[in-house]
Amino acid sequence: MGEPSPFSYSPQKLLQSYAALKAKETSSSVEASSDATANESSRNHPPGTFSVAAIQITASGIPNNDVEQFWVLAQQAVQEAATAGANLILLPELFLGPYFCQSQEASLMALAEPAEENFVIERMRQLAKQYQVVLPISFYERKNNALYNSVVMIDADGSILGTYRKSHIPDGTGYQEKFYFTPGDTGFKVFRTKVGTVGVAICWDQWFPEAARAMAVQGADILLYPTAIGSEPQDPTINSADHWQRVMQGHAAANMVPVVASNRYGTEVLLHEDGSEKQRITFYGRSFITDETGAIVQEAKVDQQKPFTILSTIINPSENRATRSAWGLFRDRRPELYGVLQTKDGAS
């Protein structure tokens, strides 16, 4: 079998596809079953541990402009990971469709929805309750006149624990997020979930050690980074995949907290309305999970024939906390000396 074809989209056709999906989902509103027996029987983890799963989804092979297939794959992946025993499941950044920030298309701001009226969040709440899993869900949030790149944290009973809004907003060729998103106003947060204390940040946030440390000092047992990163359209020879992994491995090692990153994979082609190509990005995948020392324990391998890949591993928060305390990194911190970090230019 050959390599799946790239996914292509034009803004107007993408919006039409999204509107059709929203209308379909809003009219159906099917409640999920409360039977999670199969999932519970598969959870034979040692006491005090939990299983985390990272999901990597590819757009390759999805019919052009088809938002619904992204939605179907995301639900299937969550259900498969949960049935296999995962307690905490991370989907990629903005998984409901292609990464739409390749260029400045004002019409695509119509994809933003309030959290309170979002069919994706409502359906994921149902799945969280059905399978008794924690689901951090990435979405394009509209709050009055502000538009955010956000994650809502859904606990294992389907309740919403809160929202994190992306703090660091990139602006470069192919990644023109400052056009679409208001810088987040939530600050770095952790969420007290059924499985433990979970810190979550989003994509470009992962390059900043301050974000990871802020979550760690609040007691995070694990750090999550839903992501969309790949090639650089202005220079196809640039491949940041190894660098991307290493910076997050450093966060895990410096804070002695496991890190999970879920990326997308495959080529997404932005079209002009006449069908000609405007730009493309090839997302490199490489989703991974580290242990508390920064060592990669799971990494997604390339499989052209699979629409999604699931990685999983067992986390033992109490053991990690004991090791972290014994190592003394947080005991020996000197916050009173770090004031220079609150400046832009390093001036005291």
* Catalytically active residues, by annotation: 93, 166, 203
User: Which residues are CB-contacts of 172 (< 8 A; sequence separation ≥ 6)?
Assistant: 232, 234
Closest by CA to 269, choosing from 9, 53, 31, 1, is: 9
Beta strand pairing status for 264-271 and 277-284? Answer: antiparallel
Both tokens of 196, joined, read: 């433990």
Both tokens of 237, joined, read: 């020879």
| Residues 193, 25: Cα–Cα separation, whole Å | 28
Go through the chain and tell me how many residues it has: 348
Sign, CA torsion 44/49/50/51 = negative
User: Which residues are CB-contacts of 71 (< 8 A; sequence separation ≥ 6)?
Assistant: 21, 25, 96, 120
Q: How far apart are the first and last CA of the chain?
A: 61
| Residues 164, 186: Cα–Cα separation, whole Å | 6
Contacts of 203-206 spanning 24+ positions with Cβ under 8 A? 203/93, 203/149, 203/166, 203/170, 203/227, 203/228, 203/229, 204/166, 204/168, 204/169, 204/170, 204/177, 205/166, 205/167, 205/168, 206/244, 206/247, 206/248, 206/251, 206/261
Other Cβ atoms within 10 Å of 51 Cβ, number: 21
Burial of residue 237 (CB within 10 Å: 0-12, 13-18, 19+) is: exposed
